[in-house]
Structure 1
Amino acid sequence: MILHSEELIREYTEKGYWGNTTLLDIFYENASKYPDREAVVDPPNREELVGGEPERVSYSKLLKAVDSVAVELQDTGVKKDSIVLVQLPNVWELAMLYLAIARAGGIISPMPMQWRQRELSYLAKITESKHDITVEEFKGFRHADAGKETVENVILLEDIREFAKTGREPEKVEIDANEIFTICWTSGTEADPKGCPLSHNNWIFQSGNLVKVCKLQEGDRQLCVAPLVNMTAVGVNYVPWLLTAGTFVLHHPFNAEICLRQLVEEGINFTILVPAVLNMILKYPGIENYDLSKVRTITTGSAPPSEWIMREFKRRWNIDIVNIWGQNEGTALIAGPDDVPDLEKRVDHFPNWGKDCGWKSGVKGIETKIVDADGRELSGAGEVGELLYRGPNVIPCYFNRPDLTEKAFAEYDGKKFFRTGDLFVIKDECFIGFYDRKKDIIIRGGFNISSAEIENILLEHPKVLEVAAVGMPDEVLEKEFVSSLFLKERLLHWMS
């Protein structure tokens, strides 16, 4: 399934941003070179999640599982361009299924565990999927029953484990690097999820940039804390794991004690943790007793980190905190030590890769514009507008939603730019800073207030663990108060 236009494929191929190598090609090469290296490590609490002892899977074992599961999926009706819904927690079989489904000719469409019948039915309808791979039950909800009411073929985790043992060879399916590898989903509280199809070339370009900026090395051990269903885990951990032939260590759900233990005992070199978790680690009782010396880089996102977090991780463990802004649609800006060496700036300065500023990270191919509400391009320092983004990492469309696609893209100079919906402030000619999401702006007395900026300041206080800034009606300013801020999934805690 190729969704990018021939014109765009020609453009990015001629410029060298897209090639002929697929993620499957990269995996098979890794397995050939390092058959005995640990490929995937289960979370230590696997038994609580899905039953069974945690497993440590080598590349050779993973290769056998990928091929074996692929042929069994073909036997169940998965063929070229079949979309397979998958709803599993972070266990090694989920990591394997990304590759096995592609090997069978299909496209994986992963879902968060908390999604229920409503979301499953919507996804099955819009993708016309006939296959759902899931568990019998998870935390009291019977996922298998929901699947049986929705699709023709429900395959349980237990079935997948049996498939993985067969040792059969799948039928060969030709796969182009421009074909879709995943359809991940945005999660909305008021609207249906939006499908974000990304090709092998999209993912390789996207995660290749991260590998450059974060200076990941061959064989790095990565800890995947986020659910393996969207950009946070797939783009920051999963694909970089393939690109570096490393070890993929899984975690689920977030548990501070287990996370810290894995960082130490698994010799983790790289991970991504949200600012609230970074803040919690720094204030964790007895943290001085944890040896984090093997961790080189931690990326963070979803909200801007505080300067205090940046400095403390560098001072205590010489760990670089890399600030990431990105979306499931494939957009991304990454503030790493090469492009933004000043820790104070790295908090709120992103390299505007759309400008030719001789970026030391070597990232090229991104085009950006910051525009006001009327679509006029802004250029002055201090001006705030919506970020428009174009690059070899961006989705071609929202899957089977031309109505949403039309609204999501804007044309400038004959090129299609993605409307990010995020407001950025122009710092100078080379740097921009995340200001806030359009929906998160608090307007008080005619002034735009960034909730993220307020939260950052409060997080620096030693007695604040988590905080959310929200707009509230005011008797005096009532007529001028406008806020569509959605309450973030964070609470204000005061530590005694």
Structure 2
Amino acid sequence: MNSNHFTFWPNRLSKTLTVPETTLYDNLTITAKKYPNKAAITYYGQTFTYEQLVTEADSLAGYLEKELGVKKGEKVLLLMQNSPQYMISFFALLRVQAAVVPINPMSTTDDLAFYVRDCNIKQALAGQELHHKLTPLKKDTSLERIIVATYSEYTLAENALGEIPPEVIAPVNVPDDDIEWKDALSAKQTPSPYKGKSEDVAVIPYTSGTTGLPKGCIHTNRTVQANATGAYHWMNVTPDAVALATLPFFHVTGLVHSLLTPITAGGTIVLLTRWDRDYAAKAIDKYGCSHWINISTMLIDFLSNPNLANYDLSSLQAIGGGGAPLPEAVGEQLYERTGLRYIEGYGLSETISHTHFNPPDRPKLQCLGIPSFDVDARVIDPATGEVLGIDEEGELIVNGPQVFKGYYNREEDNRDSHIQVDGKEFFRTGDIVKMDEEGYFFIVDRLKRMINAAGYKVWPTEVESILYKHPAVQQACVVRAPDEKRGETVKAFVVLNDDAIGKVTEDEIIEWSKEQMAAYKYPRILEFTDSFPTTSSGKVLWRELQKKTADQLQ
């Protein structure tokens, strides 16, 4: 295990961290006892205290247990966008020791059928705008009942800072054969005494399924606590912190950093159901947001807002995120605007968010950071398993307290995704990285995304980072394209800044690229587009652009 990174470890912070034996639900109740009247959530003009949050979570837990018969270990589907009801549902399920199965709201009915069958799910909690996707499944799957939440019941529109998303202001419209949220809470059922343990399965987030069928990642209270507690200390989150929550909670980064960490600290969560750069800026200004964990595409959009200078962003103390490397040019733009360096991290569903984090006082741009508390991270040759040295590119493997307990019902995948090194079991991430002499890790690319151009390895992330330096480029995504001579070649999709549209051509950017990178790396093909397809968490769906390229050639 390399220990060079300890030289740059955050000041006054221990290099190891004992994971609490308490559960995630305990975190909420302890905070509610300490700060009962403190604002836990601010949601489109409405504020909810910690006492209200725990009271409603317990009330819903009573209904789940006494009326629906939810039992310890039962897997329950949670299909909502960011909302107070999402948070209440999450803790209510933990209260009855059920396992939360959080699902992407963009999932189709067929997608949902897979998850329901994979986990033999009987009960679901869903947002009103999403429940129609679930109702067909009550006919031909194990799904029996759905509790439906209407977001508008938790807003105060006249106090909102701007336009409210349509699904958030929609009135109650729940079919008779589903259970209205307010009816579940008004039943005022009391759950049995809480007996939750650290090793209880708490949440089963699913991987995106980009390398086959989606896989459920089994996480206990302990594995999630490792990162919720770690982030609480690493990011200096105090009871007076105000977190801007714009990442979706179904995603592990949003769950840990925008929901669980602020609650562990007793901070306030300013909650957005849908990303809106103007509303986000107004919220920072109005509520004095101090912490904001996001994704690079979100920050790029935020900084390109022509109205940004109208808002006071001085309350921000820490901005960071993961999912995709932040282009260096965007990081510099952030620093010029706020005086803050972007604190990038790295993680996976299998590690319930981060295994790596940049030290807040010494971050590097386009860098995954250094291993977090008690994480052993190494770089290996993906073919031989040999551990590689400084600046050698290979597959990242990790061992740490946040690593999942395995894929649900996937024994073969569990075997294939782990490797023994020096008597320890490591998870194979599938990401190609390298480590510098100071112990900082840098992404090279996904193992499956590499472009083989005439025998030369081209990593799209590297090409994208250089394209971002062009003043006309707002976003860039690089994919492979077939080439008669080279086998594969480099193609770039580019979203231009508004003031560059019609003034810069594809050929001009290609010619500029020739001067910026090696001859085998620069894009031979460049295509302008208005926007990129993204996941609801903001990641660019490069595979869709890859498919578009293939379809164009047919």
TM range (shorter): 0.7 to 0.9
Structure 1 position 492 matched with structure 2 position 492? no
Structure 1 position 61 matched with structure 2 position 52? yes
Structure 1 position 332 matched with structure 2 position 355? yes
Structure 1 position 146 matched with structure 2 position 136? yes
Structure 1 position 133 matched with structure 2 position 115? no
Q: For residues 123-165 of structure 1, what are the alpha-carbon distances to aligned partners after superposition, in whole Å with 9 as ceiling and x for unaligned? A: 1122112101113444xx8234234233022222262333334
Which residue number in structure 2 is paired with residue 373 of structure 1? 382
Distance 1:492 1:256, change over 3 A: same
Which residue number in structure 2 is paired with residue 347 of structure 1? 366
Unpaired runs of at least 5, structure 1 = 1-14, 45-53, 354-362
Match of 1:242 among 263, 266, 270: 263
Structure 1 position 445 matched with structure 2 position 454? yes
Q: Report the TM-score, using the length of structure 2 for normalisation.
A: 0.77
Give the distance between the partners of 2:268 and 2:330, measured in 1 at CA: 27
Name the SS of the counterpart of 2:458 in structure 1.
strand
| 1:136–1:144 CA contact under 8 A, matched in 2 | no
Distance 1:472 1:144, change over 3 A: closer
| 1:336–1:346 CA contact under 8 A, matched in 2 | no
**Stretch of structure 1 that moved more, 33-42 or 273-282:** 273-282
Match of 2:322 among 280, 296, 301: 301
Name the SS of the counterpart of 1:394 in structure 2.
coil
Structure 1 position 94 matched with structure 2 position 86? yes
Give the distance between the partners of 1:113 and 1:443, measured in 2 at CA: 35
Which residue number in structure 1 is paired with residue 147 of structure 2? 155
Distance 1:37 1:155, change over 3 A: same
- Offset at residue 320 of structure 1 (A): 3.2
Structure 1 position 383 matched with structure 2 position 392? yes
Q: For residues 396-420 of structure 1, what are the alpha-carbon distances to aligned partners after superposition, in whole Å with 9 as ceiling and x for unaligned? A: 1001211211111112222211000
Equivalent residue runs for 1:182-201 within 5 Å: 182-189=203-210, 191-201=212-222
Give the distance between the partners of 2:19 and 2:360, measured in 1 at CA: 26
- Offset at residue 491 of structure 1 (A): 5.5
Give the distance between the partners of 2:270 and 2:209, measured in 1 at CA: 28
Give the distance between the partners of 2:420 and 2:92, measured in 1 at CA: 38
Q: For residues 348-369 of structure 1, what are the alpha-carbon distances to aligned partners after superposition, in whole Å with 9 as ceiling and x for unaligned? A: 3622x3xxxxxxxxx5311122
Give the distance between the partners of 1:311 and 1:216, measured in 2 at CA: 24
Aligned length: 450
| 2:291–2:319 CA contact under 8 A, matched in 1 | yes
Match of 2:355, as an amino acid?
A: A
Which residue number in structure 2 is paired with residue 423 of structure 1? 432
- Offset at residue 346 of structure 1 (A): 3.4
Match of 1:92, as an amino acid?
A: P
| 2:198–2:220 CA contact under 8 A, matched in 1 | yes
Structure 1 position 465 matched with structure 2 position 474? yes
| 1:41–1:56 CA contact under 8 A, matched in 2 | yes
Q: For residues 437-496 of structure 1, what are the alpha-carbon distances to aligned partners after superposition, in whole Å with 9 as ceiling and x for unaligned? A: 112211212222221111112223332111101112222212xx389x9x9xx8533533
Structure 1 stretches of 4+ with a deviation exceeding 6 A read none
Structure 1 position 202 matched with structure 2 position 202? no
| 1:148–1:154 CA contact under 8 A, matched in 2 | no
Q: Report the TM-score, using the length of structure 1 for normalisation.
A: 0.85
Give the distance between the partners of 1:157 and 1:136, measured in 2 at CA: 5
Match of 1:465, as an amino acid?
A: Q
Match of 1:493, as an amino acid?
A: L
Match of 2:63 among 56, 72, 85: 72
Give the distance between the partners of 1:476 and 1:439, measured in 2 at CA: 22
Match of 1:448, as an amino acid?
A: K
Give the distance between the partners of 1:308 and 1:190, measured in 2 at CA: 31
| 1:135–1:144 CA contact under 8 A, matched in 2 | no
Name the SS of the counterpart of 2:324 in structure 1.
coil
- Offset at residue 282 of structure 1 (A): 2.4
**Could you say what the CA RMSD is over the residues aligned between the two structures, in angstroms?**
2.3
Give the distance between the partners of 1:205 and 1:110, measured in 2 at CA: 19
Give the distance between the partners of 2:407 and 2:210, measured in 1 at CA: 18
Give the distance between the partners of 2:134 and 2:220, measured in 1 at CA: 29
Which residue number in structure 1 is paired with residue 344 of structure 2? 323
Name the SS of the counterpart of 2:464 in structure 1.
helix
Distance 1:190 1:21, change over 3 A: closer
- Offset at residue 83 of structure 1 (A): 0.9
Give the distance between the partners of 1:58 and 1:462, measured in 2 at CA: 45
| 1:132–1:147 CA contact under 8 A, matched in 2 | no
Name the SS of the counterpart of 2:217 in structure 1.
strand
Q: For residues 50-95 of structure 1, what are the alpha-carbon distances to aligned partners after superposition, in whole Å with 9 as ceiling and x for unaligned? A: xxxx632111111110110000000211011111101111110101
Structure 1 position 393 matched with structure 2 position 417? no
- Offset at residue 269 of structure 1 (A): 1.1
Name the SS of the counterpart of 2:316 in structure 1.
coil
Give the distance between the partners of 1:371 and 1:39, measured in 2 at CA: 43
Match of 1:171, as an amino acid?
A: S
Which residue number in structure 1 is paired with residue 21 of structure 2? 20
Match of 1:63, as an amino acid?
A: V
Name the SS of the counterpart of 1:164 in structure 2.
helix
Match of 1:436, as an amino acid?
A: D
Distance 1:28 1:213, change over 3 A: same
| 2:239–2:265 CA contact under 8 A, matched in 1 | yes
Give the distance between the partners of 1:259 and 1:431, measured in 2 at CA: 31
Name the SS of the counterpart of 2:343 in structure 1.
strand
Match of 1:283, as an amino acid?
A: S
Distance 1:378 1:213, change over 3 A: same
Which residue number in structure 1 is paired with residue 175 of structure 2? none
Unpaired runs of at least 5, structure 2 = 1-15, 151-179, 501-554
| 2:379–2:388 CA contact under 8 A, matched in 1 | yes
**Stretch of structure 1 that moved more, 33-42 or 159-168:** 159-168
Equivalent residue runs for 1:235-314 within 5 Å: 235-314=256-335
Give the distance between the partners of 2:233 and 2:404, measured in 1 at CA: 21
Distance 1:80 1:108, change over 3 A: same
